Amino acid sequence: MDIDQSIQESLAGFETLWQRVRGTERPDKQVKESAPIPRFREERAMETFIQAELRAAAFDKALARMFQSKGRAVLLAQAEDAGRRARRLRAEYFIQTGVSYTPGKNCPPVGDKLAALRAALLREERLTQDYTQAAGQTAAPVLQALYADLANGSAAHAQALRNLLILAFR
């Protein structure tokens, strides 16, 4: 394989991605530069999801300080995962709107360890429902796949929190 061919292969999907970034997902048609980009309708929902994931990351990190070994490791891993999910949402938000969205980080008070675990569990269950609902309501296939994946991640987080609660009551 020569260098030119490997470069062409690595750039195979670039045009489609570039069209998404520009907000003009019409690679088969020429788009006039003066054509207005349609307004992204799901902007507020994505902002809410980004905020929720950032709050979840901060909350789980703070809650991890109350645990030892296994519980701490689970909560820190979930905090990292929530941060990754927020970054994925922020990237897609930028692709859809052309604007970078970075809300301030805020962490709700943690309080009692068991009450905080319950709050985190309820948050993940709610996020699972919200992502599933958003996946069903969006017309964008990219967002459907993203929301479905995030719903699965939230469901996995909820199960891990259930397991921590079971361990706490042993």
pTM for this entry: 0.74
Quick one: pLDDT at residue 29?
46
Give pLDDT tens digits for 63-87: 998 888 788 999 999 999 999 999 9
Quick one: pLDDT at residue 67?
84
CA atoms within 13 A on the CB side of 79: 17
CA separation for the pair 86, 43 (Å, rounded): 14
For 121, the token pair is 């569990």
Q: Give the mean pLDDT of 146-155.
A: 96
Residue 1: which residues within 8 A CB-CB, separation 6 or more? Answer: none
3-6 long-range CB contacts below 8 Å, 24 or more apart?
none
Give pLDDT tens digits for 4-47: 555 555 556 556 655 665 555 544 444 444 444 445 578 889 99
Amino acid at 34: S
Quick one: pLDDT at residue 38?
44
